[in-house]
């Protein structure tokens, strides 16, 4: 049985560890001890060395007791988007908040907690279950780097659940967009504006022209784009010779994200050419879209597990952002993301109800029970 007091204890313990990206070691040590205590074989990969962090991804396996059930991978990430040093947790009516000027760190410590508790409950009950694998990753927040370093060849599972999104608890994310980051360095020609403005080529003007040439905002129902940062220029009286612009393009359609990206690069090139300047464009793929059919066994099982955990009608939805699930899907492991119920992520009033994390833990246990039954 899922134990609400144990959920609270685990979550508080994890929240009180400061684990920004690259410094997840303290959480990995704790989790490794817990998993070994439950009989898991554990190991860490080389993601820590490669990424310059203090631990690699923490991986674990426990052989199954249901003979024909396919192995299942459970995933959550150990890092938080920023340091939560100095965190003071306020607990009121079963809701956790941060009382100091830090985030609480619900993302993704709620996911880690739900996996740990749900697995423990399943093992306590002793029902037949599949071979279980766990991937607690590092550096998710800085670009899914831990997951990108994870070698699926070291895993037996060919399907996964990622516990890494907020409200509603038990909601199932079956699709996310592809996401490109774009960066532009615009180069013009500096000149003293009082003496020889005609010698200057304004990089700011090129950037302005480029931005006006490109489609931005909501492009269509699947596609969005933004230029979010502009930095450049040196003084009031100098024609600016350098501007940096950064932005992004996302779409649930791979073709559209590439078309939008091209449109943004082309707009900068055209504006630079028109003014006699130059531009260097850099495009980085942050993550690639996925879409799992609503009728896929992974989704059906998650819906049924949610119902058994007390959610009348689990929400199935698309999301606007990526997670480790994008990398796992890209690597050939169909993965959906399950919601933990936290709210106001990264905002001033980031909070989570303990009851929601307890319910998410029940979902984990029910997923294992259903998988053990061959569902």
Segment interacting with Zn ion (CB under 5 A) among 65-73, 103-111, 190-198, 230-238: 103-111
Q: Confirm whether 79 is a catalytic residue.
A: yes
Nearest distance in Å: CB 108, Zn ion = 4
Nearest to 284 by CA among 140, 82, 143, 146: 143
Say which of 32, 107, 140, 164 is annotated catalytic: 140
Q: Output 32 or 108, the one with its CB closest to Zn ion.
A: 108
Of residues 164 and 366, the one with the C-beta less far from Zn ion = 164
CB atoms near residue 257 (< 10 Å): 26
Residue from 164, 209, 248, 356 that binds Zn ion (CB under 5 A)? 164
Cβ closer to Zn ion: 22 or 372? Answer: 22
Alpha-carbon distance of 64 to 166, in angstroms, equals 30
Task: Please confirm, yes or no, whether 231 is among the known catalytic residues.
Answer: no
Question: Shortest approach of Zn ion to residue 44 CB, angstroms?
Answer: 20
Residue 107 binds to Zn ion (criterion: CB under 5 A): yes
Concatenated DSSP letters of 148-217: HH--GGG---S-EEEEEE-SSTT-EEEEE-EEEEEEEEEE-B-EETTT-GGG-B-HHHHHHHHHHHS--E
According to CB under 5 A, which one of 108, 209, 241, 366 is a site residue for Zn ion? 108
CB of 83 to Zn ion, least distance (A): 16
As measured in angstroms, the least distance from the Cβ of 90 to Zn ion is 22
Instruction: Give the DSSP H/E element, type plus range, for residue 9.
Output: helix 4-15
The region of 160-168, 196-204, 219-227, 359-367 touching Zn ion under the rule CB under 5 A is 160-168
Q: Within its chain, how far is the Cα of 42 from the centroid?
A: 23
Tell me how far, at minimum, the Cβ of 324 lies from Zn ion, in Å: 8
Q: Exactly one of 24, 32, 45, 79 is catalytic; which is it? A: 79
CB nearer to Zn ion: give 160 or 203.
160
Q: What is the C-alpha separation between 288 and 178, in angstroms, rounded?
A: 4
Piece of the chain touching Zn ion by CB under 5 A; list 113-121, 163-171, 206-214, 249-257: 163-171
The contacts of residue 108 (CB under 8 Å, 6+ apart) are: 76, 77, 78, 79, 80, 140, 163, 164
Distance CA 128, CA 372 (A): 5
**Closest CB to Zn ion among 184 and 342?**
342
Site residues for Zn ion, 169-198, by CB under 5 A, read none
Number of residues that bind Zn ion (CB under 5 A): 3
350 lies in the site for Zn ion, by CB under 5 A: no
Kindly state the DSSP code that residue 70 receives in the 8-state scheme. P
The span from the CA of 101 to the CA of 349, in Å, is 10
Binding region for Zn ion (CB under 5 A) out of 105-113, 230-238, 272-280, 345-353: 105-113
Whose Cβ is closer to Zn ion: residue 345's or residue 373's? Answer: 345
Cα→Cα distances 343→17, 220, 225, 291, Å: 20, 27, 25, 24
Residue closer to Zn ion, measured from CB, 139 or 225: 139
State the Cα–Cα distance between residues 67 and 46, nearest whole angstrom.
32
User: To the nearest whole angstrom, how small is the minimum distance from the Cβ of residue 22 to Zn ion?
Assistant: 15
CB of 190 to Zn ion, least distance (A): 43
- Residue 24 as a binder of Zn ion (CB under 5 A): the answer is no
Sign, CA torsion 118/120/121/127: positive
Query: Rule CB under 5 A: which residues touch Zn ion?
Result: 107-108, 164
Which positions are annotated as active-site residues? 79, 140
């Amino acid at each position: 049985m899922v134990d609400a007091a144990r959920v609270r204890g685990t979550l508080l313990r994890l929240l009180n560890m400061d684990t920004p990206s690259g410094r997840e070691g303290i959480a990995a040590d704790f989790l490794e001890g817990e998993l070994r205590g439950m009989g898991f074989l554990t190991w860490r990969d080389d993601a820590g060395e490669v990424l310059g962090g203090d631990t690699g991804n923490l991986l674990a396996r426990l052989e199954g007791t249901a003979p024909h059930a396919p192995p299942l991978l459970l995933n959550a990430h150990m890092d938080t988007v920023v340091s939560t040093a100095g965190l003071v947790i306020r607990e009121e009516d079963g809701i956790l908040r941060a009382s100091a000027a830090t985030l609480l760190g619900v993302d993704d410590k709620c996911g880690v907690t739900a996996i740990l508790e749900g697995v423990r409950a399943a093992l306590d009950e002793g029902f037949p279950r599949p071979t279980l694998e766990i991937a607690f990753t590092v550096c998710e927040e800085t670009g899914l780097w831990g997951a990108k370093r994870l070698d699926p060849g070291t895993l037996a599972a060919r399907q996964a659940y990622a516990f890494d999104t907020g409200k509603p608890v038990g909601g199932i994310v079956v699709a996310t967009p592809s996401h490109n980051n774009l960066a532009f360095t615009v180069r013009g020609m500096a000149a003293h504006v009082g003496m020889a403005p005609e010698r200057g080529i304004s990089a700011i003007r090129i950037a302005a022209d480029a931005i006006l040439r490109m489609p931005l905002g909501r492009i269509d129902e699947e596609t969005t784009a933004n230029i979010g940062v502009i930095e450049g220029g040196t003084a009031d009286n100098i024609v600016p010779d350098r501007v940096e612009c950064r932005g992004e393009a996302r779409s649930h359609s791979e073709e559209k994200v590439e078309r939008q990206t091209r449109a943004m690069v082309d707009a900068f090139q055209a504006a630079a050419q028109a003014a006699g300047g130059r531009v260097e464009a850099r495009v980085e793929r942050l993550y690639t879209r996925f879409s799992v059919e609503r009728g896929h066994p992974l989704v059906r099982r998650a819906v049924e597990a949610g119902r058994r955990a007390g959610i009348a009608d689990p929400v199935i939805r698309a999301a606007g952002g990526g997670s480790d699930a994008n990398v796992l899907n890209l690597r050939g492991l169909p993965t959906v993301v399950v919601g933990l119920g936290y709210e106001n992520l990264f905002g001033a009033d980031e909070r989570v109800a303990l009851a929601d994390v307890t319910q998410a833990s029940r979902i984990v246990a029910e997923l294992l029970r259903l998988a053990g039954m061959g569902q």
